[in-house]
Structure 1
C-alpha cells in the first residue's frame, strides 16, 4: 500500500475561532464549513477542525487549553524573524527562534487560540545571521 497525508483533523472547542486564526495568519482557503466543521486547504494537504462533542465540552472549563502531542509545521517563504514579529504584533503567542547544528532551517513555535502548537520553518540563507 502507498499512502499520502491528505488531512490532519483537530477536535476543537470553537471551530469559527480556530478556522479564522489559520485563514488570517496563514492565508489558508476554506474548502468546506458549517457550524461544527471546517476544512482548509493548507497547500499539499488539508487541515480540518471538528467541534468537540457537547458531552465532552461540558466537562472542561471555557479557558482550558487542550493538550495534545501534535505539532503543525509550516515551511514559510519569508524571513523567520519577520514572520515571528508579524504574528507577535497580532498577539499570537510565539516562542523564541531556534535552530540546530548542521540544520538548514530556522524554527519558531507558536500557539493557536486553543493551545495547539504550530511551527514556522524557514530555510537559512547563505550568510544569514543568528537570532
Structure 2
C-alpha cells in the first residue's frame, strides 16, 4: 500500500475561533465548514478542526488550554523575525527564535487560541 498524507484533524472546543485564527494569521483558505467542523487548506496538507463532543465539553472550563503532544509546523517564505513580530503584534503568544547546529532552518514556536502549538520554519537564507 502506498499512502499520502493529506489531512490532520484536531478536536477542539471552538471551531470558529480557530478558523478565524488560522485564516487571519496564515491566510489559509476554507475548503469546508459547518457548525462543528472546518477544513482549511494549508498548502500540501489540509488542517481540520472538529468540535469536541458535548459530553466532553460539559466537563471542560471554557478558558482551559489543552496540553498535547502535537506540533503543527508551517514553512514560511519570509523573514522569521518579521513573521514573529507580526504575530506578537496581533496578540499571539510566540517563543524565541532558535536553530540548531548544521540545520538549515530558523524555528519559532507559538500557540493558537486553544493552546495548540505551532512552529514557524524559515530557511536561514531568508531569516535573521
TM-score, normalization: structure 2?
Answer: 0.97
Tell me the secondary structure at the aligned position of residue 16 of structure 1.
helix
Q: Which residue of 2 aligns with 1:23?
A: 23
Tell me, which stretches of 5 or more residues in structure 2 are unaligned?
none
Q: Distance in 1 between matches of 2:125 and 2:39?
A: 33
Q: Which residue of 2 aligns with 1:110?
A: 110
Tell me, which stretches of 5 or more residues in structure 1 are unaligned?
none
Q: Distance in 2 between matches of 1:11 and 1:68?
A: 11
TM-score, normalization: structure 1?
Answer: 0.95
Tell me the secondary structure at the aligned position of residue 25 of structure 1.
helix
Q: Distance in 1 between matches of 2:51 and 2:125?
A: 40
Q: Distance in 1 between matches of 2:101 and 2:119?
A: 18
More displaced stretch, 82-91 vs 117-126: 117-126
Q: Which residue of 1 aligns with 2:101?
A: 101
Q: Which residue of 2 aligns with 1:42?
A: 42
Q: Distance in 1 between matches of 2:121 and 2:52?
A: 29
The answer to whether residue 36 in structure 2 is matched with residue 54 in structure 1 is no
Aligned CA-pair RMSD: 1.1
Tell me the secondary structure at the aligned position of residue 125 of structure 2.
coil
Q: Distance in 2 between matches of 1:10 and 1:19?
A: 12
Shift of 1:49: 0.4
Shift of 1:70: 0.5
Aligned length: 128
Tell me the secondary structure at the aligned position of residue 77 of structure 2.
coil
Q: Distance in 1 between matches of 2:22 and 2:50?
A: 14
